[in-house]
Copies of this chain bind each other. A is one copy, B any other.
Amino acid sequence: MKPMGPVPAGFASIDGELAIGGQKTGDLAAKGTPLFVYDRAMLDARVADLRAAMPERLAVHYAMKANPFPPLLAHMAGLVDGFDIASGGELRLALEAGMAAGRISFAGPGKDDGELEAAIAAGVTLNTESAAEIRRALAIGERLGVAPRLAIRVNPVFDIKGSGMKMGGGAKPFGVDAELVPPLAREIAHSGAQWRGFHIYAGSQALDADAVIATQAATLALAGDLAEQAGVDVPHCNLGGGFGIPYFPGDTPLDLAQVGAALDDAFRALPDRLAETQFAIELGRYLVGEAGVYLTRVIDVKRSHGEIFAVTDGGLHHQLAASGNFGTVVRRNYPVAVANRFGEAAMESEQTIVGRLCTPLDLLANKVALPEIRAGDLVAIFCAGAYGASASPSAFLGHGPARELLV
């Protein structure tokens, strides 16, 4: 038997069935599986909890790469203060979702001229990633007769301790090395462009409040130092993200109150150069990850050499991360349940849940303790709201993409 991650708080059952947004999963799945279901009320609650814990001064941005499903984006546009985007495609979706261009910022190490032009024309802030990109943006702004809104993405020398994904610390393709930032900040501020400040992103998926607090403190110190060295004020500073969610056995939620209190203290002790700065955090996974569930129907249950395999109509073509093939070295089990018998006791034998793809990589839950699975059962894989549908190879083996539903 292998453990699995904790089922996120807030999921109830109706008549023994897992419910999402007050609806039975069987009803949600009636029009076809596999599907992703995202719970609007859980999105609302997550943003509300975050705002309650964080200083009022901190703006909350949604990093839409986590989940760009248009109905979810439209809902998030009404909840948060801005969107962070990573491509021209995301720019279009963000605007279509109703987010004002002035509240969108665009990071990414490989923005092409077409993307820069679309963003500058729309009035989106560019988190610029190199001297060459700054000069391309200035030239495009001149050509368009628009003052581009330019911030600098800084490559910090620190990263979040225990972070799931390191984005800072040492040589990186992201952002500008801190020591090169001051002259570039001055260049932008004196160029006629709108100088917007800094974007400092040190890592993601951290569950340790102390690590997040230390990183935020280092980020504020770095922003203050760079502003001082450059001799510029900082209209806006994106402190990055990094708030993680529990996926795996032993993971515990981030202590939001602790992080918020420390940030509140830090905001009371800012240097002069940051006195008027508008701060933001940029969260993707933290806002939407736990609000999503991937539902897949069991097609066959078979035994092989004494082991039980439940074969579903889903797989890694929809939920690559849950199969352990995206950004993880050692595969561990996401939280999983038999949705139509939610809360029922586990059988004695371990069971393995696989996707329908003809590859041993397509493993959704390895040797877990669950109620006895039968053909026709509905399997729920939790923590599917972020980096699921859009971060999986949906064309692989020709089964097509999953349905998505916001309830």
Contacts and interface: CB of A to CB of B under 8 A. Distances in A.
B393 A358 contact: no
A228 interface: no
A356 B110 contact: yes
B400 A89 contact: yes
Interface string A25-45: 000000000000000000000
Given A302-B173, A398-B86, A108 B391 contact: no
Contacts of A359: 165, 327
B327 A86 contact: no
A11 to B, nearest CB: 26
Interface in A231-271: none
A329 B327 CA distance: 10
Contacts of A400: 89
A361 interface: yes
Nearest to A33: B112
Interface string A279-313: 00000000000000000000111111111010111
B300 A110 contact: yes
Contacts of A352: 173
A107 to B, nearest CB: 6
A395 interface: yes
A355 B65 contact: no
A170 interface: yes
B87 A399 contact: yes
Contacts of A167: 360
Interface of A: 65, 68, 85-90, 92-93, 107-112, 129-130, 132-133, 155, 165-167, 170-174, 177, 299-307, 309, 311-313, 315, 320, 325-327, 329, 352, 354-361, 375, 389-400
